[in-house]
Structures are given as structure tokens and as C-alpha cells.
């Protein structure tokens, strides 16, 4: 039997391309409508996806008129609603270790685990902006090392709370007048540098086990945290070279903490698929033609931490410092450097490559050519699957389900139907 590929999706607004909302058939007016997300989720389940994932941002930085309020609905609340119209697909929410309360977060995630019958997962992040910090009684974001130190304790405490008592101790014995076995339910008495939590959690661990732990950091600290605590990771890789470098660094981190259990790796994936290559490129061009240059430059400035106001759109991208000298989020910056090295683009061309997802693996072509590349990544061991980032929603998702999924299935690379029930079982962990 061939190695099986995992497929998940990061749902963001009406698509990851910055111009997706301008398309004539976009559903931008439904950003706050839960039925919109439920419909997308049912499409994903029809495609037999492993997961739905929601990123999160703890601020709305309304700097111009084209800022998308894509985090309109809280991800855990959104996933709880989605759980009621789906039966199989995993449900992954972002949790910020910098801002969130571990007791509350553990109760929310474990509640979702019970509600969904074992389909919950959580992606631990450290957050990225001062604007977010200012919504949480901070003047600015703590430095990178301090955020990861706190996140490590946050994750450890979450695991303690997840397992602080068992559903088996909920006895409900009317004859003997016993609701719980109180002897097995004791405080955890966590006293750490950042958190003091008596416990136990008010919600018992479920028969389905703990929610699946995800991580997405690309720094050395992020990879170490993943090696210590994660079951799977989301990564940013523009090409196979970058993906191999990430896998090697993750393997080194795993070795450094003496871990033996492997970690699944899911790079982001942007697809433009058509019955012909020309049709696929036309879909991309339609979006790129609608791109707002000002918004695109702001995103680029965030990735590279530089002012671009003096750059000429038709000139080649100016030389940028090596990644070793960069002090911001290194994952995206490294990706920008790889795109520049591979494509030698003009500034405007670079904006087009970054427009959908910010520089993740971007495949443009027929179902055959796209799956050829996906299969290479799987066989070379640099990806266990992919986290789909559709340029438009729902259209790009529909294209993936109707054209790419059947091609994967025809090659024996992806399930024909669900034969597992929980997210842990989907992932084989």
C-alpha cells in the first residue's frame, strides 16, 4: 500500500488571495455568517479532508479600507458550530500562549473534544504584533525568547489540565448515591513562572483522549517547542529545498530533546487548477489583475520589516539582508528570499507570488501536474500532507475537491472514504 497523504485546509475569509473579495462571485458579505463556514466545512468533508484549521489574530488593525476582518468569529466558537454539521473532519483552532488563560483554553478545547467526539486539535502560537498585546493589558509584545518560554509552560500546563481527571470518574450511580469518584479528582497545584493554577479542570478528559497538539513556529525556539509538545506542525515552504531544510531542522530538534515519536509536517499549499495549464494560469491572472498594490506592499513590509515606499514596481527587488541578520519572523522572510532567488522577480511580480498565502508552495496546472508535485514531496519525506490555502472561497476549494482529490484517490494516495473517526486516528498517532 502506498504512503497516504493528509489534506487539511486553512479557512481564511473568502480566500487567501488579497484580491479574492473583489471577484464578482465572492461572498465577502457573509464573513460573519456561520452558515457560510458550515457550507465550506461540508465541502471539505465531501472531499474527505483530515482537518479544518482557523488561524487567529487578537487585534483588528484597521489601517486602510481594504483590511479584511477575517477573524470575525472566534475560532473555537466557529468550530463548535461546524462540529454539528460534520461527522468526520478534524477541527483545529489557534491558541495564543502569550495572551490566553490556560485554564479557560483547556476547558474550551476539551469541551470541543467532547462535543465533536474526538475531532479537536489546537495550534499553539506566540502571536506577532504589538496591536494584539495592547488588547491584553500589555504595552507591547514581549520579546521572542520570553514568548516561547511562556508558551512552553502554557503547553505543559494545558496537558496537565487535559488529563487532570478522567471521564471514568464520572460514575452517576443513583443506587449508591455517587456522582463522581472524588478520591481520583485532585488539584494539580501548578506553580510556575507565568501561571499558578490549582485545578483540576472542570471538564474531564474524554474517552477520545487529548486534543491533537499542533505548532507552527519556524525559529529555533519554535522548533524546540514543537519537538517537545507537538503531534504535527504547519510549515511554510516555497520549494523542496526550503521544505527539506525545515524537515532537517525539525529532526535535529527532535533528536535534541530525545524524542522517538515522529511529528507530522504539513506545508501550506496554494493551488490554481484547470483542465488545461492555460486555464489554471488564467485563474491566477484574474486575481492578480485585481490586486491592490498598497495593501500588497504593506504585507510585504510586514514580512521583510522594511519600508518599500521608494521601490519601483517594475524594477527588480532590491537586495535584502541574509536571513541570519533578520530579527523579525524568520519563516516568512526566508520564504521571500527563496522566491527572489528562484524567480528573480520585479517588485510587482513578487507581490503576485505573495498575494495568496504569503509565499507557500504554489502549484499552477492540471490535476495531473499538481498531484505529480504533491506526490514528490510526500515520497521524498519532506511533507506528510498539505494544509490547503485556497486563493478564493468557495471556488478554489470546489476545484480542489472536484479535480485534485479524485486524482490523488486514483493514485492510491488519499482515502476514498473515512475509515477512522477521531483526529488522532486520521493522523495515525
- The DSSP line for 165-194 is SBGGGEEEETTTTEEE-GGG-----EE-SS
Q: How confident is the model at residue 61 (pLDDT cuts 50, 70, 90)?
A: confident
Mean pLDDT of 211-227: 94
Map grid coordinates 488579497 to a residue: 18
Using CA atoms, how far residue 326 sits from 219, 231, 238, 243, 340, in Å, is 11, 29, 18, 20, 16
Q: Mean pLDDT, to the nearest integer, of 219-225?
A: 93
Which of the 8 DSSP states describes residue 91?
A: E
pLDDT confidence of residue 168 = 93
Which grid coordinates belong to 87? Answer: 461527522
The Cα–Cα gap between 116 and 114 comes to 6
105-109, 302-306, 409-413, 415-419: least confident range: 302-306
In 3D space, the residue among 125, 121, 123 whose CA is nearest the CA of residue 51 turns out to be 121
- Virtual torsion, Cα 356, 361, 367, 369, nearest 10 deg: 130
Which DSSP helix (H) or strand (E) runs through 242? helix 240-256
User: What does DSSP assign to residue 381?
Assistant: T
Q: How many CB atoms lie within 10 A of CB 207?
A: 13
Percentage with pLDDT > 70 across the chain: 100
pLDDT at 74 over 80: yes
b/e code 118-130 from CB counts within 10 Å (16+ = b): bbbbbbbbbbbee
> Among 255, 244, 184, which residue's Cα sits nearest to residue 379?
244
Q: How far apart are CA 272 and CA 346, in angstroms?
A: 22
Please say if the pLDDT value at position 334 is more than 90.
no
Burial classification of residue 306, based on how many CB atoms lie within 10 Å of its CB (0-12 exposed, 13-18 middle, 19 or more buried): middle
Answer whether residue 196 shows pLDDT above 80: yes
The pLDDT of residue 64 is: 79
Taking the C-alpha atoms of residue 124 and residue 232, their distance in angstroms, rounded to an integer, is 11
Task: Pick the range with the lowest mean pLDDT from 1-15, 319-333, 372-386.
Answer: 319-333
pLDDT of residue 328: 78
pLDDT of amino acid 343: 86
Phi, psi (5° rounding) for residue 232?
A: -155, 160
Residue 258 burial (CB count, 10 A): 7
For the chain, report the end-to-end CA distance as a whole number of angstroms: 18
Digit-coded pLDDT (tens) for 136-166 = 999 999 999 999 999 999 999 999 999 999 9
pLDDT for residue 327: 84
**Residue 332 — pLDDT band, cuts 50, 70, 90?**
confident
Between 22 and 62, the more confident residue is 22
Q: Which H or E element spans position 191?
A: strand 190-191
Mean of pLDDT over the chain? 94
Question: Could you identify the residue written with the cell 485563474?
Answer: 283
Q: How far is CA 107 from CA 47, 154, 338, 363, in A?
A: 30, 14, 41, 39
pLDDT > 80? residue 329: no
Identify the residue with better confidence: 128 or 100.
100
> What is the model's pLDDT at position 336?
92
Q: Domain extents for the chain?
A: 6-275+359-427, 292-354
Rounded mean pLDDT, 402-409: 98
> Cβ contacts of residue 76 below 8 Å, gap of 6+?
93, 108, 109, 112
Whether 57 contacts 99, CB under 8 Å: no
What residues pair up with 391 in beta bridges, in sequence order? Answer: none
Q: What is the mean pLDDT of residues 275-287?
A: 95
Per-residue pLDDT at 49: 98
pLDDT score at 106? 98
Answer yes or no: are the C-beta atoms of 358 and 332 closer than 8 Å.
Answer: yes
> Does position 185 have pLDDT exceeding 90, yes or no?
yes
Q: Give the model's confidence band at 256: pLDDT under 50 very low, under 70 low, under 90 confident, else very high.
A: very high
pLDDT for the residue 63: 82
Which pLDDT belongs to residue 410? 98
What number is the average pLDDT over the span 253-281?
96
Beta-strand pair 232-235/212-215? parallel
- What's residue 124's pLDDT? 97
User: Which residues lie below 8 Å from residue 372, measured CB to CB, with a gap of 6+?
Assistant: none
What is the average per-residue pLDDT within 394-403? 98
Confidence of residue 358 (pLDDT cuts 50, 70, 90): confident
Q: What is the pTM of this model?
A: 0.92
Domain spanning 6-275+359-427, CATH class? alpha beta
Amino acid at each position: 500500500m502506498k504512503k497516504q497523504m493528509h489534506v487539511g485546509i486553512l479557512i481564511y475569509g473568502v480566500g487567501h488571495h488579497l484580491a479574492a473579495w473583489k471577484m464578482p462571485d465572492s461572498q465577502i458579505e457573509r464573513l460573519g455568517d456561520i452558515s457560510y463556514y458550515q457550507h465550506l466545512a461540508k465541502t471539505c468533508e465531501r472531499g474527505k479532508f483530515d482537518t479544518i484549521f482557523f488561524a487567529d489574530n487578537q487585534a483588528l488593525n484597521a489601517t486602510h479600507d481594504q483590511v479584511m476582518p477575517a477573524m470575525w468569529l472566534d475560532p473555537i466558537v466557529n468550530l463548535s458550530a461546524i462540529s454539528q454539521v460534520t461527522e468526520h473532519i478534524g477541527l483545529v483552532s489557534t491558541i495564543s500562549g502569550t495572551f490566553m488563560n490556560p485554564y479557560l483554553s483547556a476547558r474550551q478545547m476539551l469541551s470541543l473534544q467532547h462535543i465533536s467526539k474526538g475531532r479537536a486539535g489546537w495550534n499553539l502560537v506566540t502571536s506577532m504584533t504589538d496591536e494584539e498585546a495592547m488588547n491584553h493589558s500589555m504595552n507591547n509584545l514581549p520579546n521572542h525568547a520570553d514568548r516561547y518560554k511562556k508558551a512552553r509552560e502554557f503547553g505543559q500546563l494545558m496537558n496537565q489540565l487535559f488529563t487532570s481527571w478522567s471521564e471514568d470518574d464520572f460514575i452517576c450511580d443513583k443506587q449508591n448515591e455517587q456522582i463522581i469518584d472524588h478520591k481520583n479528582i485532585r488539584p494539580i497545584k501548578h506553580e510556575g513562572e507565568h501561571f499558578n493554577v490549582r485545578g483540576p479542570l472542570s471538564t474531564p478528559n474524554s474517552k477520545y483522549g487529548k486534543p491533537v497538539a499542533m505548532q507552527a513556529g519556524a525559529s529555533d525556539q519554535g522548533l524546540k517547542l514543537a519537538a517537545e509538545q507537538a503531534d504535527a506542525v504547519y510549515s511554510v515552504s516555497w520549494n523542496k529545498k526550503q521544505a527539506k531544510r525545515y524537515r532537517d531542522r525539525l529532526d535535529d530538534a527532535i533528536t535534541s530533546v530525545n524524542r522517538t515519536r515522529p511529528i507530522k509536517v504539513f506545508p501550506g499549499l496554494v493551488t490554481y487548477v484547470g483542465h488545461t495549464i492555460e486555464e489554471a494560469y488564467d485563474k491566477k491572472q484574474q486575481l492578480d489583475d485585481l490586486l491592490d498594490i498598497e495593501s500588497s506592499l504593506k504585507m510585504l513590509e510586514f514580512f521583510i520589516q522594511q519600508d518599500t515606499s521608494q521601490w519601483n514596481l517594475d524594477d527588480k527587488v532590491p537586495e535584502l539582508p541574509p536571513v541570519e541578520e533578520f530579527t523579525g519572523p524568520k519563516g516568512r522572510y526566508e520564504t521571500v528570499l527563496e522566491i527572489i532567488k528562484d524567480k528573480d522577480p520585479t517588485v510587482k511580480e513578487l507581490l503576485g507570488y505573495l498575494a495568496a498565502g504569503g509565499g507557500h508552495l504554489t502549484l499552477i496546472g492540471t490535476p495531473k501536474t499538481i498531484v505529480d508535485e504533491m506526490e514528490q514531496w510526500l515520497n521524498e519525506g519532506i511533507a506528510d500532507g498539505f494544509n490547503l490555502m485556497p486563493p478564493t472561497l468557495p471556488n478554489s476549494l470546489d476545484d480542489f475537491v472536484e479535480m485534485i482529490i479524485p486524482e490523488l484517490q486514483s493514485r492510491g494516495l488519499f482515502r476514498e472514504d473515512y475509515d477512522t473517526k477521531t483526529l488522532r486516528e486520521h493522523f495515525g498517532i
